Chains A and B, each alone.
Chain A
Amino acid sequence: MSKNDDNKPITAQKFMQYFRSYQKGSITRRHFLGVTGLGTAMAAMGTAIPSLWSGKAQAGDLGDRLIFSTWPNYHDQANLDEFTANTGVNIQVNAFGSNEEMLAKLQAGGTGWDVFVPTNYTISNYVALDLIQELDLSRIPYYDASANNPKFAGPATVNGKVYCVPKNWGTTGFVLNSKKIKSSPKSWKDFFDVTMGAGSGHTIVHDYQLTTIGAALCALGYSFNSIDPKELAAAEALLIKSKPHLFAITSDYQPGMRSGDAWMSICWNGDATQLHNDLPEMEYVIATDGGEIWTDFYAIPKDAPHLDAAYAFINYMQDPNIQAREAAVHGYAPTDSRAIALQPPSLASDPILHPAENLMNGLEFGAAQTLTDPVRAEVMARFKSA
């Protein structure tokens, strides 16, 4: 994990935490011995256990900086601080509201990013554009491919090479304030009807082409991923018609929902959990007429300046314990079965984090071509400047 951990004895509390994880089978024996220091102790006693924990091999000097680009409300600051405390690597976090914005920055070059969090549908594009590097999985010992559902982890592998490791998965639906909206909308069609009716002036849509255009497409009965110019034109018309009734176009929708200005918003399920935990009247809806299911990943840009720190950070974030702690704060489900096993029962059975399979039948993973499709890009830009 870190050079400091090698010198400092593990606390009793942490030891028990790891021991339980080991008992439950969510971490391997090798891993258990490695992090608890038992392995080192045994090695010191002369027992030959080769390469106890490969992470140690590269726990040299990681530098003092890591530039990390991710999404809003997507981490527990305590974990980032712990990484800094363990390694001396300060993390500079940039939050983005759309994959397109991340792509634009990477295309322009010179980002200085070490790690970023792209969504499933962008990976093949990044590989084709030669913007991310193939991962050396031996430097991410916490990652266990077999613990990850291929449905979610699949997009990480392009042409047989692994370019990223999964972070979380989730759904894109909408959140509503049930004290204000009584008609219990169920679909994207309802969403836009309420926006232009009883909830006029109180709806937020994302500043993100995939989800906002996707929601309008679903409301019209088309595929979330459509790139058919006619269907996109219809979606644009619906969005522009609804624009005077919107409260805002932003991917940072929590402040608006919390202040009571906004009553309904396109929403990622983890934000819905965060809102619901604080304000029980916030309800999350997976639309019956479609929507998005997604996986986010950790990836390393081609020109990452702090490569060692990047690997150390990704490895740290893949630790099932850290994953579980992260999920407890941000409310998105881990893809890693070891981390799910560590979640408290209330979260592991939470319908927002882990919805019933049948509710997700209509959901689609974002399609790669939506990222670069010029028509979708221009429809979104025109809608915003309309």
Chain B
Amino acid sequence: MREDKKPGRWLTAALLAPTSLWFLVMLIFPLIVILVFSFGERAAVGGYAPGFTLEHYANLPSRLKAFQNTMIIAPAGTLLSLLVAYPLAYFLALRVSRRYKLILLILVIVPFWTSLLVRTYAWIFILGGRGIPTLLEFIGFEGVRLINTPGAVLVGIVYGYLPLMVFPIFVSLEKLDKTLLEASSDLGSSPLKTFMQITLPLSMPGIATGCMLVFILLMGEFLIPAFLGGGKVFFIGNALVDLFLQSRNWPFGAAVSVTLVVIMLITVSLYMRMTLRSKTGRDESLM
């Protein structure tokens, strides 16, 4: 037995080594650097100087507004993306004939071939005074301001992140056993009831994945609020860009990063717990 186990252990270690090394070098090590930096001091000309101080953590309230904006707009953006993406994914997975499915799926990906920066810059002109507001003037709504508002940022978010939400939902709807839908209607359920009791619960894994993908990325977003918020809708990502690239206060930037990581860990683990619990709950009830 002992002789059997040893080579197995070595093999496991060898197989795990690349992943472990990756995590160590790409995740753990940078996080330690950031943690160490967050207790250091800003060098005289900017950057980092060794030291130990808690002043950067004490200074966190000065960025409260940025944390608030992020914590409100990131979940709102995720929800809005879900509301727009779900019907689209449903349509693609269940309503479109095979012939067009592939073409339509490609059309969802096509915007990804251009940089998000360019696409977001285009929205500056669409939402700017000569864009949609001019059209609105024709039908009698004067002086509408769209650009540089939280609404504009939300539009940018939905536009930029839609494919990330569509695909996981599409995949879980695609896998859905169509005979269940037939059985449901044979047993007299209305389409709405079928949707609520069969389709929606079975697509929950896709919804959960999509929301997670979009939410995590949104928490670090800076480009869309910078362009469509005009520097007035300020995310924590913008505060970070500022601290590292303008005011060169690396230690404070590191402290803000550490705080963001902690907030993310808490939010994401709560979210995982909720989705896992509801899933096991359903599995049990199915049994």
Residues of A within 8 A of B (CB): 98, 100-101, 103-105, 107, 125, 128-129, 201, 207, 209, 243, 246-250, 255-256, 258-261, 372, 374, 377-378, 380-382, 384-386
* Chain B interface size range: 20 to 34
Given A104-B244, A381-B242, 14 more pairs with CB closer than 8 A:
A100-B247, A103-B248, A104-B248, A107-B248, A125-B45, A209-B247, A249-B230, A255-B125, A256-B128, A256-B147, A261-B145, A374-B247, A377-B246, A377-B248
CA distance A258 to B125 in the complex (A): 10
List residues of chain A with CB within 8 A of the CB of B238. Answer: 384-385
Residues of B within 8 A of A (CB): 42, 44-47, 62-63, 65-66, 124-125, 128-131, 145, 147-148, 230-232, 234, 238-239, 242-249
Are B130 and A207 interface neighbours, CB within 8 A?
no
Distance to closest chain B CB from A241 (angstroms): 14
Q: Which of B238, B246, B249 has the most CB of A within 10 A?
A: B246
Distance to closest chain B CB from A232 (angstroms): 13
Are B46 and A104 interface neighbours, CB within 8 A?
yes
A-B contact pairs, 24 of them (CB 8 A): A100-B245, A100-B247, A103-B46, A103-B248, A104-B46, A104-B245, A105-B245, A107-B46, A243-B232, A246-B232, A248-B231, A249-B231, A250-B230, A255-B128, A259-B128, A259-B131, A260-B129, A261-B148, A374-B46, A377-B248, A377-B249, A380-B246, A380-B247, A381-B247
Are A372 and B230 interface neighbours, CB within 8 A?
no
Distance to closest chain B CB from A268 (angstroms): 18
The one of A250, A374, A382 that contacts B231, using a Cβ cutoff of 8 Å: A250
CA distance A125 to B43 in the complex (A): 14
Are A385 and B129 interface neighbours, CB within 8 A?
no
B64's closest neighbor in chain A, by CB?
A: A385
List residues of chain B with CB within 8 A of the CB of A103. Answer: 46, 248
Are B42 and A374 interface neighbours, CB within 8 A?
yes
CA distance A259 to B124 in the complex (A): 10
List residues of chain B with CB within 8 A of the CB of A209. Answer: 246-247
Are A382 and B62 interface neighbours, CB within 8 A?
yes
CA distance A324 to B62 in the complex (A): 47
List residues of chain B with CB within 8 A of the CB of A125. Answer: 45
The one of A256, A381, A386 that contacts B249, using a Cβ cutoff of 8 Å: A381
CA distance A248 to B128 in the complex (A): 12
Are A381 and B243 interface neighbours, CB within 8 A?
yes
Distance to closest chain A CB from B68 (angstroms): 10
CA distance A377 to B243 in the complex (A): 9
CA distance A246 to B231 in the complex (A): 10
CA distance A209 to B46 in the complex (A): 14
Q: Which of B130, B131, B232 has the most CB of A within 10 A?
A: B232
Are A101 and B148 interface neighbours, CB within 8 A?
no
CA distance A380 to B231 in the complex (A): 12
Are A381 and B230 interface neighbours, CB within 8 A?
no
List residues of chain A with CB within 8 A of the CB of B66. Answer: 385
B67's closest neighbor in chain A, by CB?
A: A385
CA distance A104 to B242 in the complex (A): 10
List residues of chain A with CB within 8 A of the CB of B130. Answer: 258-260
